[in-house]
Structure 1
Amino acid sequence: MADDKKNPLGPTGNQVRTNVERVRETRGLTKKQLADRVAELGRPIPPLGISRIEAGTRRVDADDLVALAVALNVSPLALLLPADEGPDPYISLTDRVAVTLSRAWKWARGERALSIAPGEEPSADQQDAFARISQSARQRYVKDQPAGRAVDALHGEVYRLVEISGVSTEAVDEEFSRRLASVRVWLDRVSVEVQQAAAEHDELAKEARTVKAERLRPEST
């Protein structure tokens, strides 16, 4: 307890405790039931511990966070960040770093590097370095393929298009028209790249069948 007073919870710690309580209640679980679930996962936290977590008097370490996320059937990110709903407010990640909620989620999902300086965007090199460490090898492989890059670009345009679709101002209307045109371009590009990927796969499959047939062909005497 003394350590907690010397080093109180920061904004993320407070968000975790708020989310644990919110998700637990959404799931219809009592503190005892949640405690039983995490105990079954090999990370015992007694009901009193759950109460202290939600009150902010017990810290949640990395192992606790994962066990609670598994027990509550949510991503760990759903406990670390506010729900991505409604407006896009600024939230504090640390006592000195605040970003918009949508940017925080993109950063946490490994989609977009974080720029700490207000108004600055990460450079292409910074984004590439961020992605190569923050994403799995499979994610990087897919995103490095032409079809993957096209889908990634389309995703970003559609996300923003939907995000602003419920607002109408002169500036937003102009952006909406621009994004809509971009979505149509990327849809065509995705179609082309997917067809190319399918053609390449068909060629590989044809070669594999030829090799297999050669192996099965009886040797001439």
Structure 2
Amino acid sequence: MLQLVIVTKRQVEQGPTASRAAAGIRHLRRKRGWTLDELATRLADAGHPLDPPGISRLERQERRLTVDDLVALAVAFDTTPAALLLPDTDNGEPVPLTETTSGSFAASWQWMRAESPLGEPEAAEEAVPSVRAVQFAEENHPDRPPGSRHSPAVNDMLQRAVQQVIKELERKESDDDGR
């Protein structure tokens, strides 16, 4: 008895960021004028061999994108993983990051570049950064010396805060001397 097996291609269920990355890979490959073979060669040169059908399956969301794939693709494209994970234009809509979390275009990019925590309200320029923002900067900038892991804007805010405290202490001290 002959048995017929039909194999169907199906999309792998993925979250919004993986879906956007799949589309981003195809978009960037085509924008650069690369064939699947050319990208496969670049991935092999980056130490992460992936054959053209595998790349095609990634782009069509028929194969899961692993973290190793993501980093190798970023190396092959000479870009950052963030450029593959986030949209490259602001359409005015929130950017879905997970099924339940999204951010504005600007906030998503600032978070991805480790400039500010996701969901952190925008502070006035003279405002003291929140404890959460300072902790975020410390945890996400190990490349900077301790105490200077903040963005220049956060460092400026911290300097202004210290100056305000010093002025307040000097004022109190002069008030105490005047008694």
Say whether the fold is shared (TM-score over 0.5). yes
SS of corresponding position for 2:95: strand
Gaps of 5+ in 2: 1-6, 123-128, 159-179
Secondary structure of 2:73's counterpart equals: helix
Q: Kindly indicate whether structure 1 or structure 2 has the higher relative contact order, using CA contacts under 8 Å at least 6 residues apart.
A: 2
Matches of 1:113 and 1:18, distance apart in 2: 26
CA-CA distance at 1:125 after TM superposition: 1.0
**TM-aligned CA distance change 1:34 to 1:140, over 3 Å:** farther
d(CA) in 2 for partners of 1:147, 1:62: 31
- 1:54-78 deviation digits (Å, cap 9, x = unpaired): 0011111111111101111111110
Amino acid at match of 2:110: K
Equivalent position of 1:130 in the other structure: 136
Residues in 2 aligned to 1:18 and 1:98: alpha-carbon distance in whole angstroms:
18
Partner residue in 2 for 1:182: none
In structure 2, the residue matched to 1:212 is: none
1:89–1:48 Cα change, 3 Å? same
Tell me whether 1:28 sits opposite 2:33 in the alignment.
yes
Q: Which residue of 2 aligns with 1:64?
A: 69
Partner amino acid, structure 1, of 2:59 = E
CA distance in 1, matches of 2:60, 2:150: 45
Distance 2:52 2:152 in 1: 51
How far apart are 1:143 and its partner, in Å?
5.1
- The yes-or-no answer on 1:48 pairing with 2:53 is yes
Distance 2:151 2:82 in 1: 27
Tell me the SS of whatever aligns to 2:109: helix
1:13 corresponds in structure 2 to: 18
The one-letter amino acid of 2:130's match is A
Aligned-pair CA distance for 1:134: 1.2
Distance 1:51 1:148, change over 3 A: same
Instruction: Indicate the SS of the match to 1:138.
Output: coil
How many residues are matched?
145
Structure 1 residues 144 and 64, CA gap change in structure 2 (3 angstroms):
closer
Deviation at 1:89, TM superposition (A): 2.3
CA–CA distance in 2 between the matches of 1:41 and 1:104? Answer: 28
5+ residue gaps, structure 1: 154-221
Report the Cα distance in structure 2 between the residues aligned to 1:40 and 1:97, rounded to whole angstroms.
36
Q: Higher helix share goes to which structure?
A: 1
Quote the residue 2:101 is aligned against: 97
The residue that corresponds to 1:171 in the other structure is none
Q: How far apart are 1:131 and its partner, in Å?
A: 1.1
TM-score under structure 2 normalisation? Answer: 0.70
Alignment partner, residue 116 of structure 2: 112
